[in-house]
Chain A
Amino acid sequence: MFIDIKKTAQYPAVRLYLSNRILFSGIALLLILASAVSVALFATNVLSATDKKNFLYLCFGLDILVVYFYVFFRTRLRNAGKVLWGKDSFEGENIADYLSFDAALPFYFAEKLAANNKVDSRTFFAYCIQTNPFYSTYVLERLGIDFATTKKNFSPFFKQHPTTDACFEDTERIMKAALERASVHGHKYIEISDVMYSFIMKSTFIKESLIRLGVRTEDVDAVITWKELEHLHKQQRGEFWKKENLLRKPGVGVSLAFGFTPRLDQHSQNLTERVKYMKLNIVGHRQEINEMGRVLARMGKNNILLVGEPGGGRKTLLYGLIRDITEGRSEPELQYKRVVLLNMGSLLSGARTSGDITQQIQTVFMEAQYAGNVIIVIDNFHHYVSSGAQEATANITPIIMPYLKSPNFQLIGICDNTGYRRYVEPNKDLFSQFEEVKVAETTPEETFLILQNVLPMYERMYHMVVTIGALREVISLSELYMPNVAFPEKAINLLSEICVFASDSHIRHILPMMVADYIAKKVQAPVGEMKEAERDRLVHLETFLHQRVIGQEEAISVISDAMRRARTGVGRKKKPIGTFLFLGPTGVGKTETAKALAESYFGSEDRIVRFDMSEYSEATALDILIGSEAGNNPGHLATRVKENPFSVVLFDEIEKAHRTVHDLFLQVLDEGYCTDAFGQKISFLSSIIIATSNAGAIQLRDMVKQNLDRTKIKSLIIDVVIKEGIFRPEFLNRFDATVVFDILTKENIVKITDLMFKRLAKRLEDKGYFFSYTKEVVEKLSDIGFDPVFGGRAIARAMQEKIEGKIALDILSGKYKPGDTVEIRAQDFA
């Protein structure tokens, strides 16, 4: 293989273009002027009738010639290169022969400046950008790089880095890579996109510069492929004379071959008509669309239940089917079929009695059956059928059954998973009339392609550019922080929200950082790259937690380490943020630690979802936690975690929970989610899970009394809880850390008492009182409240009884008024 632009068929075309472009522009301008003059001349009597006619001939003839040669240049000369299709080997061939006109142009310029026929890759790249400014701007902006700055930086960069042999070697390597990419992507010629891609991926100096600017190499391919697809779609849509575009227009006489449906038309929306005006690029779901086509084309059992989560693309799939029908890609039996969405609200609104409802529905169904080309769609189908035990909004089952059995009546019911399981599946008669088509949630990769399709609309609407990094961030963060909505809807919703926000804030470029900031504000949890304050807090997390938790150095250190791992992304991604088992006797600060963690990570100690696991010790515990389909009850865990996904989920006294609950936890701790009774996913990916237990507390006290080593105590306690069968080893292993809390010493109790006094002072200050107490007061109260069995709880109780009770009484009796100093002395209580 070799590269020589002069020996290519494009060479004369490039030369012709470069040498005559000014001439062509001049002639075009002259013709426009001549046309204007001819209009003026025709309006006056300066010329005779014959001259007017001849002048018209002249203008018209020149117009034809210019357009004729322009078309020749555009369609023939610009496409003079060799075609890549069907070529496997390029041995001994000139690679430049396969260049498209746009790719040959910069190479022509670069070769003119070449020394000894060797083209400097940097000059070539500079000309690629110069000769294709729109394309380059698009690619660089999407990658988050400012085009103007990049262009400006070329000259200084070249001066700093003089041409070396590597620059010449680069050119050959780049051209070979471009040829390979073009072949793999099925391009007709080596396009400018192939050259640009190869430059960015293969050229040492460009790749390095881009990585330094924060560009990911996989994004380069994604952006370039994206642009190629956009160009292809635009080109395909623009060629109106092509058969496939002309046949998109529905026929005018079709309706004459089928029946009238006046009532149905009144209460429905014609989806076939609607899809005609939609810009629709279906991503994935091809298998489901084909399956729907096959079922609808059958003679019997030709009704469909479209089952999937809202927002998961059920309607898009339906639109895909309609597009297939209208464009003749589906089964011949479906040709001329009209898909209508029945508006059940409007249909049932006028009906007062069940007789009215029956009549209304029957009229509409009968019309559809007689028409012979109608496919009815009912959204939320499960709302209108009942399984006997469960009553839905309105039960149309008895009315619809005879129609469903008729081959001339076709229905597509759209259900969500829960409704399907609760109302449709148990009704065997009804269920047997349908073929079920499951609509799986789109994958993040498919969602990325969907976002690429919808993005141009948002960008046009809000006049902004969304970088590819921001788009990826939208997908990854919506996956993590919007667990209750399906893909692609959650990603599209988030993108739309961010566009509105950016538009209001007059931001023109949406970068990944902005997406993370927006989500962080929305969920009130730290997201994305860390800010200085957050980084500082994480580094000093121990100090922050110790402001609330006294003692427990090891526990605090283990938790802080785990949190740092989670936040920096060093830990596993598909898991809760952190999972901890706190072991230790009552009153040592387990719950306080959980609150401190909630405050440090989620900004408030109220971001705790607390479960007292002693309430879940019976065999029915699992049903209460994740719900029961039979009882139609949503579970406690499902409801509360779905409502507060960004919180510390605290399971107090976990050892008291039933064994089946422990089994449920195995999945939660490992995968970060579980499934409730209705098949809905409960995600814990944005939660910190803390389970507390008093198991082994008695043994812990004995060990402390024996002055055993700290690390030995921990392993002995874990042995105890396993041997006694309280927890299984696999359960303990699932936690990020099992933390054994120390028994509080007298010094700890004094510090806790002091902390409690400080908090009391703060509370009184909020009420308008000053508070004064001495060190003796703190020591005396800690003496009174010290109880090795109840730890901090005993102090809290003593504080309530001896101090808070007295102050409350004094305030009520009028001893203190707002602005006074409440004073407590050691002799005031005993």
Chain B
Amino acid sequence: MQKVVGAVVSVARRNVVLSYVYWHFMEVPVGILKGWEAFLAFGLHYFSVRLLTKTLFSPFRRYLSVKKVPGFDAWELFQSLIFNGFSRCIGFVIRLCIVVVGLIFELVILFAGALMFFIWFILPILAVIMVMKGLTIF
């Protein structure tokens, strides 16, 4: 099978028309897919979606009230609970915002990639139609 593919590729390489077909329907679409995947990975990385999801409920900027005096103090415990609760709430809201922006970006890339993939296949026909339509001016 490998030999047959090799032979086909070899013939396609020597013939400009076959070479073109191989390029348009195989080589470039694979390249577009790779680029698409790279941009999707970039979105997740740039908006730190994984890290922020993992630390979604962590305190904001690691601000936590720590116990200062030994022994049980109900008032101090209550203060700590309130402070830490707020810290986690603020952290959650801010991180969530960034994660949502990141996910929107991913959606945009997903859509743009699919569109580009589709347009690529019809690009030569599209260009020819545009030229034909344009020629009506004469």
List chain B residues, Cβ under 8 A from A246: 38-39, 41-42, 45
User: What's the Cα separation between A12 and B19 when bound, in Å?
Assistant: 11
| A353-367 interface with B by 8 A CB criterion | none
List chain A residues, Cβ under 8 A from B20: 72, 76
| A556-591 interface with B by 8 A CB criterion | none
User: What's the Cα separation between A54 and B52 when bound, in Å?
Assistant: 50
List chain B residues, Cβ under 8 A from A80: 13-14, 19
In the complex, whether A77 has a CB less than 8 A from a CB of chain B is yes
In the complex, whether B127 has a CB less than 8 A from a CB of chain A is yes
In the complex, whether B79 has a CB less than 8 A from a CB of chain A is no
User: What's the Cα separation between A75 and B20 when bound, in Å?
Assistant: 11
Q: Quick one: closest B residue to A257, CB to CB?
A: B55
List chain A residues, Cβ under 8 A from B49: 253
Q: Are A76 and B95 in contact (CB under 8 A)?
A: no
| A578-621 interface with B by 8 A CB criterion | none
In the complex, whether A16 has a CB less than 8 A from a CB of chain B is yes
Q: Are B95 and A68 in contact (CB under 8 A)?
A: no
Q: Quick one: closest B residue to A8, CB to CB?
A: B14
User: What's the Cα separation between A246 and B34 when bound, in Å?
Assistant: 12
Instruction: For residue A62, give the distance in angstroms from its CB to the closest CB of chain B.
Output: 6
In the complex, whether B74 has a CB less than 8 A from a CB of chain A is no
Contact status of A9 and B14, CB under 8 A, knowing A59-B134, A72-B23, A75-B27: yes
Q: Quick one: closest A residue to B91, CB to CB?
A: A256
Contact status of A61 and B98, CB under 8 A, knowing A68-B123, A372-B62: no
Q: Are B42 and A57 in contact (CB under 8 A)?
A: no
In the complex, whether B133 has a CB less than 8 A from a CB of chain A is yes
In the complex, whether A247 has a CB less than 8 A from a CB of chain B is yes
Q: Are B19 and A77 in contact (CB under 8 A)?
A: yes
Binary per-residue interface labels of chain A (51-80) against chain B in the complex, 1 for a CB within 8 Å, 0 otherwise: 100111111111011001000100111001
Binary per-residue interface labels of chain B (49-65) against chain A in the complex, 1 for a CB within 8 Å, 0 otherwise: 10110110010011100
In the complex, whether A371 has a CB less than 8 A from a CB of chain B is yes
Instruction: For residue A249, give the distance in angstroms from its CB to the closest CB of chain B.
Output: 6
List chain B residues, Cβ under 8 A from A72: 20, 23-24
Binary per-residue interface labels of chain B (85-123) against chain A in the complex, 1 for a CB within 8 Å, 0 otherwise: 000000100110011001000000000000000000001
User: What's the Cα separation between A726 and B55 when bound, in Å?
Assistant: 79
User: What's the Cα separation between A260 and B35 when bound, in Å?
Assistant: 36
Instruction: For residue B122, give the distance in angstroms from its CB to the closest CB of chain A.
Output: 11
List chain B residues, Cβ under 8 A from A256: 48, 52, 61, 91, 94-95, 98
Interface size on A, residues (CB 8 A): 43
Q: Contacting A253 at CB < 8 Å: which of B16, B48, B132, B136?
A: B48
Q: Quick one: closest B residue to A11, CB to CB?
A: B14
Contact status of A76 and B133, CB under 8 A, knowing A251-B48, A252-B98, A257-B51: no
Interface size on B, residues (CB 8 A): 50
Contact status of A51 and B37, CB under 8 A, knowing A61-B129, A249-B42, A252-B46: no
Instruction: For residue B26, give the distance in angstroms from its CB to the closest CB of chain A.
Output: 10
Interface of B is mostly: helix
Binary per-residue interface labels of chain B (20-35) against chain A in the complex, 1 for a CB within 8 Å, 0 otherwise: 1011100110000011
In the complex, whether A134 has a CB less than 8 A from a CB of chain B is no
List chain B residues, Cβ under 8 A from A64: 123, 126-127, 130
Contact status of A371 and B62, CB under 8 A, knowing A76-B19, A246-B41, A257-B48: yes
List chain B residues, Cβ under 8 A from A55: 134, 137
List chain A residues, Cβ under 8 A from B130: 57-58, 60-61, 64
Q: Are A251 and B46 in contact (CB under 8 A)?
A: yes
Interface of A is mostly: helix
List chain B residues, Cβ under 8 A from A279: none
Instruction: For residue A43, give the distance in angstroms from its CB to the closest CB of chain B.
Output: 17
List chain B residues, Cβ under 8 A from A16: 16
Q: Are B131 and A65 in contact (CB under 8 A)?
A: yes
List chain B residues, Cβ under 8 A from A76: 19-20, 22-23, 27
Binary per-residue interface labels of chain A (233-265) against chain B in the complex, 1 for a CB within 8 Å, 0 otherwise: 000000001110011010111101111100000
In the complex, whether B135 has a CB less than 8 A from a CB of chain A is yes
In the complex, whether B83 has a CB less than 8 A from a CB of chain A is no
In the complex, whether A158 has a CB less than 8 A from a CB of chain B is no
User: What's the Cα separation between A252 and B94 when bound, in Å?
Assistant: 12
In the complex, whether B128 has a CB less than 8 A from a CB of chain A is yes
List chain A residues, Cβ under 8 A from B123: 64, 68
Q: Are A9 and B13 in contact (CB under 8 A)?
A: yes
Q: Contacting A54 at CB < 8 Å: which of B61, B124, B134?
A: B134
List chain A residues, Cβ under 8 A from B46: 249, 251-252
Q: Are A252 and B47 in contact (CB under 8 A)?
A: yes
User: What's the Cα separation between A72 and B124 when bound, in Å?
Assistant: 12
Instruction: For residue A448, give the distance in angstroms from its CB to the closest CB of chain B.
Output: 35
In the complex, whether A336 has a CB less than 8 A from a CB of chain B is yes
In the complex, whether A773 has a CB less than 8 A from a CB of chain B is no
Instruction: For residue A352, give the distance in angstroms from its CB to the closest CB of chain B.
Output: 28
In the complex, whether A370 has a CB less than 8 A from a CB of chain B is yes
The residue among B34, B38, B91, B98 with the most chain A CB atoms within 10 A of its own CB is B38
Q: Are A258 and B47 in contact (CB under 8 A)?
A: no
Q: Are A258 and B61 in contact (CB under 8 A)?
A: yes
Binary per-residue interface labels of chain A (63-102) against chain B in the complex, 1 for a CB within 8 Å, 0 otherwise: 0110010001001110010100000000000000000000
Please name 5 further chain A to chain B contacts, defined as beta carbons within 8 Å, in addition to the given A12-B16, A61-B130, sorted by A numbering: A58-B133, A65-B124, A246-B38, A251-B47, A256-B61
Subset of 24 A-B contacts with CB under 8 Å? A51-B137, A57-B130, A57-B134, A58-B131, A58-B134, A59-B134, A61-B131, A61-B133, A62-B131, A65-B128, A68-B124, A76-B19, A77-B16, A80-B14, A246-B39, A247-B42, A253-B47, A256-B52, A256-B98, A257-B54, A257-B58, A258-B61, A259-B61, A371-B62
